[in-house]
Structure 1
Amino acid sequence: MFGFIARRLIAMQEKLTGQSANYMRDIYAGSPGVFWRFAFASSLYHYSKALPPEVYSVAGIAAVRAEDCGPCVQISVNLSLKAGISPAVIRAAATGAIEDLSDDNRLAYEFAHAVATRDIAAEGLRPEVERRWGKAGLAEIAFVVANTRSYPTLKRAMGYAQSCQRVVIGGETAIARPREAA
């Protein structure tokens, strides 16, 4: 019974994200308890009330770029497209072309990326993030950065994050700039 539900959840995740979730099948095979805990935690991952959807998506893409060079970035891109975010904004965030982002999106990108890469620049950006979106917006960016880390980390540990891939946005390949060093 639980195996059936797990297989359905994994298939739904693959349909939603457009990417393989074979790593989740391996997790379930190895430890159903870990699978169910991660599935429950994953259901809590998206939360945004204070930030505009575009800003939240850009922050998430910026953070995932610091952790991954392909499949997880593609998932963030796919989910952002499904959320109605402009392909031009997604392309700029996914390729690190921050000069093409609005002021709000650029701030969210720079702050999220600085936090994800442990860059001291986050200290200087935090007051402006809080001024624009309040403590709630600051907390939401912190939340998306922290949560972004879990998937690439889990996939790496399970042996599923061994190569990069080109990111596709709206049918066009987006050549991502190399990840900035952590």
Structure 2
Amino acid sequence: MIRYAFNKMLLTMKKRYNYDVRYQQDILQADLGAYLKFMGFQTMAAHSAGLPAEPLYAARIRAIIWDDCGPCTQLVVDMALEAKIDARIVRAIIDKDLHKLPEEIAWVVQFTDCVLAHSPEADDLREKIVALWGTQGLISIGYAISAYRVYPALKYALGYGKACSRIQVNESSLVPTRNAVSAEDTARVG
């Protein structure tokens, strides 16, 4: 009965986002305990502690692009648009076009890429993030960076990884910018 209820929830997600949920269905069918742990992980991934949607999705999108440039990224982009984030901001986050982003969102984009690259430039950006959104905001961004990397890793581990594809943002189709920290990023930190 519980498997049926979880599968119904997955089918709703599949329909809502046009997203392949087979890897989650496989976990559910093979090991209910493992699926319940995955659901527990989902609560970490959803944590926001009052952080505004734009910086939260900036971290989520940049983190998922780091490990995926296909269906997982498309899902997070669709969720960002559903959260009413302006499509121009979403496109700039995907493209890592810092000049088209509000300064604080550019900081989150840079911070996320610096964290994932283990770059010391993250330190100055961390201070700016804490000044804007406090330690709770930093934790929310940290959870987004950490959690959103799990989905593509798990999908690839289970054999559901997909090749890179273009990401749709309303009528625009883009290839995610996956580069690490650039000289422009370092210059923009200051």
TM-score (norm. length: structure 2)? 0.87
Aligned to 2:37: 37
- In structure 2, the gaps of 5 or more residues are 182-190
Q: Please give the residue correspondences for 1:22-171 in structure 2 after superposition, counting only pairs within 5 Å.
A: 22-171=22-171
Q: In 1, distance between residues paired with 2:107 and 2:58?
A: 10
**Aligned match of 1:180:** 179
Cα offset for 1:44?
A: 4.2
Distance, in Å, in 2 between the alignment partners of 1:98 and 1:18 is 30
- Partners of 1:16 and 1:40 in 2: CA distance: 22
Query: Could you tell me which amino acid in structure 1 is paired with residue 70 of structure 2?
Result: G
Whole-angstrom CA distance in 2 between matches of 1:45 and 1:16:
19
SS across alignment from 1:149: helix
1:32-68 Cα shifts (integer Å, max 9, x gaps): 2211220232144222234221111112111111121
Classify 1:52/1:181 alpha carbon distance in 2 versus 1 (closer, same or farther; 3 Å). Answer: closer
Aligned length: 181
Segments of structure 1 that go 5 or more residues without pairing to the other structure are none
Displacement after TM superposition at 1:11 (Å):
0.8
Counterpart residue identity of residue 93, structure 2: A
User: 8 Å contact 2:3–2:29 — kept in the other structure?
Assistant: no
1:11 and 1:168 mapped to 2: Cα distance? 22
Is the contact between residue 70 and residue 162 of structure 2 (CA under 8 Å) also seen in structure 1? no
Match of 2:41, as an amino acid? A
Deviations 1:91-120 (A, max 9, x none): 111122222111011001111221123222
For 1:111 and 1:17, the matched residues in 2 are separated by 28
Q: In 2 relative to 1, CA 118–93 (structure 1 residues): closer, same or farther, beyond 3 Å?
A: same
Indicate the RMSD between aligned Cα atoms, in angstroms.
Answer: 1.8
In terms of mean alpha carbon deviation, does 107-116 or 25-34 score higher?
A: 25-34
Conserved in 2, the CA contact under 8 Å of 1:81 and 1:87? yes
SS in 2 for 1:132: helix
Distance, in Å, in 2 between the alignment partners of 1:132 and 1:181 is 24
> Alpha-carbon deviations, 1:113-137, whole Å to 9, x = none?
2112322221232111111221111
* 2-structure distance, mates of 1:176, 1:65: 7
Identity %: 27
Deviations 1:60-84 (A, max 9, x none): 1111111211111111100001100
| Kept after mapping to 1: 8 A contact 2:44/2:147 | no
Q: TM-score, normalised by structure 1?
A: 0.90
CA distance in 1, matches of 2:171, 2:39: 30
Rounded Cα–Cα distance in structure 2 between residues aligned with 1:139 and 1:176: 25
Distance 2:76 2:107 in 1: 18
